[in-house]
Amino acid sequence: MTRVFLTALLIILVSCHSQSKKEAEQKFDVSLLRQNEKFRIAGEYDSLINLNKRYYIQADKMNYADGKALCYINLAELNISLENFQKSQILFDNAKEILDHSEDNLHKARFYNVYGRFNVELRRIDKAFQYNNEAMSFIQKSGTSELRNDLLFSIYFRQAIYHIQKKNYEKALEYFHKAKKLDDTGLSDCAIADYVYMHKNKDSAYKYISAAYNKANARGKEDGIALYANTIMGEYYLTYKEYDKAEEALKKALKINEKTKRIYAYYGKYIYNDLRVLYERTGNKEKAYLYLEAYTDAYYKTNSSLLATINQDMEAFITGAQKDADRHKSKIYWIILLSLAGLSLLGLYAWRIIRALGKRKEVLTMEAEDLKIRMNDNKQEEIIELGKKNDPEFLNRFKEAYPEFIDQLLTINPGLENSELVFCAMLKLHFTSKEIANYTLVQHRSVQQKKYRIRKKLNIPSETDIYLFFDTLK
């Protein structure tokens, strides 16, 4: 009888301990992920780093491997925003090694959702879809929890973005609206507005962007959401030629970017480019060139010291985590192996960055020279307007501005007719197929057929972008 009582008591104690441990882990997850998102949105880099270091140590004390994996995922996501992809991959690999032995579907959903975003940044759209669908599958298997809707919102939001990449616009809008039902921050409104105004639906776009903009102002925070809302509002006004309002919104976005750029490092160059376009259109050549230079610097200069600081922080975290793993495994040779591999990867990464930045510098230098030429040519806008009106004088004015371009076309094929030269001139000025169809009063299909015939007459390879081909001609 005593033996039965002791056995029952032991089962109760083990059960209570197991339940208590599960509750502690759930509290850990909720606290870590919600604070991490708060700091990420606010652009508080130091707070985010320290939070994940602190929780990593706590997870180790709790013997909670999944908690460590969540810290790895959070820091991998931070490095995606900083375009520090090599570090992201290392952190993702550490997380996956843990989660391969986990039974927590919510954690796996979090991993695959962020890993999908990582792959889309590397232009692996099909992979991004695959991982996002895995995230969707895991979250559907997970039970009710405090974090489920937070994560489901993010999965829907990313799914919509991937559909835009695939030009599945109706599907994208469907998922944006699903995300909007789980979002009260205005982030979904920003994304929907971004999508809608690109499709030239002015009133509908304004409805969503003004809702996002008002929510951002009501929150009174200069964070990632306010950054997104002001940038999209500025681009909306820029698209519809409300230049004073566009300048106000973009300048505000630039101010917020200064505060949040340690997390949203990639964002500044887009704002600089928007301001360049704004001042180019309003005829302020000096400011247009100033922001073109800022845009150029953002690619190959201004982020270098920031990247060095980030790499130092990530190295410290990864090194600390590696020492912890070595302490448990007692296999010193792994330190040497991983260190050599890490140094090799970092060397390769640095080499690739230097090479990419060198190429980008060359391209941007060419763009700068092109911009100076175009800014000094007061006839440019007049030529574009003549093209929009399909004016018979368009080709003559174009020849005056681009005499060598026409000569090069006729050198390639002397048999080109005037109507074909007009078509090539419109492509040189980057008129879209839809715009050419509207301005010349023909069907969109006819424009596509003309493009095909021009390719044949000028021997343009099918894999070469036709606009890029004409950009290479003077």
Residue 96 is encoded by which pair of tokens?
Answer: 């996956």
Give pLDDT, residue 361: 60
Separation CA 233–CA 217 (nearest Å):
12
Separation CA 164–CA 161 (nearest Å):
5
For residue 409, report the phi and psi dihedrals to the nearest 5 degrees: -60, -45
Separation CA 432–CA 372 (nearest Å):
24
Q: Secondary structure of the chain in the HEC alphabet? A: CHHHHHHHHHHHHHHHHHHHHHHHHHHHHHHHHHHHHHHHHHCCHHHHHHHHHHHHHHHHHHCCHHHHHHHHHHHHHHHHHCCCHHHHHHHHHHHHHHHCCCCCHHHHHHHHHHHHHHHHHCCCHHHHHHHHHHHHHHHHHCCCCCCHHHHHHHHHHHHHHHHHHCCCHHHHHHHHHHHHCCCCCCHHHHHHHHHHHHCCCHHHHHHHHHHHHHHHHHHCCCCHHHHHHHHHHHHHHHHCCCHHHHHHHHHHHHHHHHHHCCCCCCCHHHHHHHHHHHHHHCCCHHHHHHHHHHHHHHHHCCCHHHHHHHHHHHHHHHHHHHHHHHHHHCCCHHHHHHHHHHHHHHHHHHHHHHHHHHHHHHHHHHHHHHHHHHHCCCCHHHHHHHHHCCCCCHHHHHHHHCHHHHHHHHHHCCCCCHHHHHHHHHHHCCCCHHHHHHHHCCCHHHHHHHHHHHHHHHCCCCCCCHHHHHHCCC
Give pLDDT, residue 251: 87
Residue 112: which residues within 8 A CB-CB, separation 6 or more?
A: 131, 132, 134, 135, 138
Give pLDDT, residue 11: 47
Give pLDDT, residue 314: 55
Scan for tokens 């919510």, then name that residue: 106
- Domains plus CATH for the chain? 2-280 (1.25.40.10), 380-471 (1.10.10)
Question: Could you report how far apart the first and last alpha carbons of the chain are, in Å?
Answer: 99
Scan for tokens 């690739």, then name that residue: 352
Residue 457 is encoded by which pair of tokens?
Answer: 């007459």
Give pLDDT, residue 376: 45
Q: What is the pLDDT along the chain (474 residues), one digit of tens a residue?
A: 555 544 544 444 444 444 566 777 788 888 898 898 888 888 888 888 899 999 999 999 989 999 999 999 999 988 887 778 888 889 999 999 999 999 999 999 999 999 998 888 888 889 988 999 999 999 998 878 888 888 888 888 888 888 888 888 788 888 888 888 887 777 777 777 666 656 556 777 777 777 778 877 787 788 888 888 888 888 888 888 888 988 988 888 888 888 777 667 667 778 888 888 888 888 888 888 888 777 777 655 444 434 544 455 556 556 655 665 555 555 555 655 665 665 666 656 556 655 665 665 665 556 555 555 555 455 677 888 888 888 888 888 888 888 888 888 888 888 888 888 888 989 888 889 888 888 888 898 888 999 899 889 888 888 888 888 888 886
Give pLDDT, residue 340: 64
Contact 183, 219 (CB under 8 A): no
Separation CA 399–CA 390 (nearest Å):
15
